[in-house]
Amino acid sequence: MTATDTDLICAIATPPGEGGIGVIRLSGPSAKRVAQSLISVEMKPRRAHYCQFTAEEEVLDDGLVLWFPAPHSFTGEDVVELQGHGGPVVQNEIIQVLCRHGARLARPGEFSERAFLNGKIDLVQAEAIADLISAKSRAAAKAAMSSFQGVFSAQVTALEDQLLGLRVAIEAAIDFPDEDIEILEQARVGDTLDVLITSTSALLVQAEQGRKLAQGITVALVGKPNVGKSSILNMLAGEDAAIVTDVPGTTRDLLKVDISVDGMPLQLVDTAGLRETQDTVEMIGVQRAREQMQRADHVILVVTAADVVANEAGFLANEDFEALLQRLALEAVPELGEVSAVNIHLLVNKVDLIDSKLRGSHPWPATYVSAKTGEGLAALTKKLVQLGSGGIEDTVFTARLRHVHALEKTRELLVQAKRGISSGIGAELVAEDCRMAHQVLGQIVGTVSPDDLLGEIFSSFCIGK
């Protein structure tokens, strides 16, 4: 036994997108029992069984299933692998069924974490795992948040504020019953709970809708006018990639295109046309673009081969490449301000226009294409796939699923609290349901300590004899 949680976790183990095979992994003491709810064959240790994955008599997928009993598995716990046919929709359904049977979605890096804690990975790798968890958590949080255009984050925070407010009122009523302060009446607690339940439900609907799109990471295309951003977009959308949806931007200045690159979903945002007007709408457009850029997982800075030539001197004079990138980005779109160079990827367009000598040397670590001739498309596709998967298993898709689950649990607890109010149970049980709801929501936004709560009480009410 280790000190970690021993609940059952599950996740999609193969890279995101529509691959040929999609593997779902389960780890935890009840892995076999829960997996067994999907399949009819009796699994034998370390044997591959071919079978159908069914839920409520509906066949979801078919494929191979393998059971690795503890401790001889990747994590050191009981592990079951369901190897099906990939595709986000099918995998999502299977994950949902598993969660209904008692599994929960793994946190980023949690499989590796368990493997480490069970001694399956040696000490040397430990720090790497912590870094991995950190990187994945950041990526996942950002992915889940950004995919709702920032609305999600703001609404979860607003929900948390409301819940905190309610708890402050309930806890104040409990801890300071004979103060002459206006403590929430039972009925108003009920009303507030109704509001909270409605907000949570609305948020869930949004989250569910967003999840169906499974749009993957967001890549913003930026550059000076006429560097060929739109042509690149068309090149990507028009060639072997298919346009899934064509969503008009949040303003007329932003174009968002959902594309699929090698089966991996990706959202491209074109920030073209930003500098053409200076009216009020345009200002809003700039503001949106800035937000979009900060929210985008990656920024592709498009320059032309001529820019390379123009800046060659600076580069050869050992100008720091990152500084150069930032300078170029700033020159291209000054309104956007500075962006961390880590997320900027340089794309050099119009390589067909420069002489072959320079084309051969490719002095900057960049992707070189010609939207006109189609040269370099394979390299660009490869680059995007690399950005999209980032080597991480935790996509927008699962990150968001985890948030959806947290929200569902929150709603369930709030509904229970509300039922409690209606049936007239003691305030302490309503308080307990609200505490648990707050704790679950805290998995998205961070925990709140009792002392924070007390601080709120003291600043809201005049307490004390």
Partner 1 sequence: MDFPERFDVIVIGGGHAGTEAAAAAARMGAKTLLLTQNIETIGQMSCNPAIGGIGKSHLVAEIDAMDGIMGRATDLAGIHFRVLNASKGPAVRATRAQADRALYKNAVRDILEHQPNLSLFQQSVVDLHVEGDTVVGCKTEMGLNFYATSVVLTTGTFLGGKIHIGHDQHAGGRAGDAPANALAERLRALPFRVGRLKTGTPPRIDGRSVNFNELEFQPGDDPRPVMSQLGRRDMHPRQVHCHITYTNEATHQLIRDNLSLSAMYSGNIEGVGPRYCPSIEDKVVRFADKPSHQIFIEPEGLNTTELYPNGISTSLPFSVQLQFVRSMVGFEQAHISRPGYAIEYDYFDPRDLQHTLETKALQGLFFAGQINGTTGYEEAGAQGLLAGINAACKAKGVTPWEPRRDEAYIGVMIDDLIHLGTTEPYRMFTSRAEFRLRLRQDNADQRLMPKGLALGVIGAERQAHYSAKMRALETTSKEMGATQIFPDSDMAKTLGLSLRREVTVKECLKRPEITAADIASVLGISNDEDMAYKALAQLEIETKYAGYIKRQEDEIEKIRRHESMQIPGSLDFLNIDGLSNELRQKLDHHRPDSLARAARIPGMTPAALSILLVHAKAKNAAVAS
Q: Which residues in this chain contact partner 1 in the complex, by CB under 8 A?
A: 3-6, 107-110, 113, 116-117, 123, 126-127, 129-131, 133-135, 137-138, 141, 171, 173-180, 423-429, 432, 435-436, 442-443, 446-455, 457-458, 462-465
Residue 30 CB, shortest distance to partner 1, in Å, is: 15
Smallest distance, partner 1 to C-beta of residue 150, A? 19
| Minimum gap (Å) between residue 173 Cβ and partner 1 | 8
Question: Which of 13, 174 has the CB closer to partner 1?
Answer: 174
Between 140 and 222, name the residue whose CB sits nearer to partner 1.
140
Nearest to 28 by CA among 55, 2, 46, 53: 2
Q: How far is the CB of 11 from partner 1 (least distance, A)?
A: 14
Name the residue nearer to partner 1 (CB basis): 108 or 388: 108
Asked if 437 contacts 417 with a C-beta cutoff of 8 angstroms, the reply is: yes
Nearer to partner 1, 137 or 381 (CB): 137
- Residue 145 Cβ vs partner 1, minimum distance, rounded to whole Å: 13
Distance separating alpha carbons of residues 107 and 158, to the nearest angstrom: 24
**Beta carbon of residue 114, minimum distance to partner 1 (angstroms, whole number):** 10
Residue whose CB is less far from partner 1, 171 or 258: 171
Q: How far is the CB of 402 from partner 1 (least distance, A)?
A: 10
Question: Hey, which residues does 68 pair with through a beta bridge?
Answer: 79
Please name the residue that has the structure tokens 């998967």: 389
Q: Which two tokens stand for residue 363?
A: 């002095």
Encoded tokens for 305: 């081969």
Interhelix angle 321-332/305-316, rounded to 10 degrees, is 140
Taking the least distance from each CB to partner 1, the nearer of 40 and 447 is 447
Nearest to 254 by CA among 207, 302, 291: 291
Q: State whether residue 254 is helix, strand or coil.
A: coil
DSSP letters spanning 101-146: TT-EEPPTTHHHHHHHHTTSS-GGGHHHHHHHHHHHHHHHHHHHHH
For residue 242, the SS3 value is: coil
Give the nearest distance from C-beta 171 to partner 1 in angstroms: 4
- Of the candidates 433, 411, 419, the one whose C-alpha atom is nearest the C-alpha of residue 199 is 411
Q: How far is the CB of 192 from partner 1 (least distance, A)?
A: 17
Under DSSP, is residue 73 helix (H, G, I), strand (E, B) or coil? coil
Closest CA to 243 of 223, 258, 228, 254: 258
In sequence order, which ranges of 267-362 are alpha helices (DSSP H)? 280-295, 305-316, 321-332, 356-361
Q: In whole angstroms, what is the distance from residue 9 CA to residue 12 CA? A: 11
3-state secondary structure at position 420: helix
Pairwise CA distance, residues 385 & 17, whole Å: 10
Taking the least distance from each CB to partner 1, the nearer of 139 and 328 is 139
Q: Which residue's CB is nearer to partner 1, number 121 or number 266?
A: 121
Q: Min. distance of Cβ 104 from partner 1 in angstroms? A: 11
Which of residues 24 and 448 has its CB atom nearest to partner 1 in the complex? Answer: 448
- Of 106 and 222, CB closest to partner 1: 106
Treating both helix axes as pointing N-terminal to C-terminal, what angle do 280-295 and 126-146 enclose, rounded to 10 degrees? 150
Cβ–Cβ < 8 Å for 229, 268: no
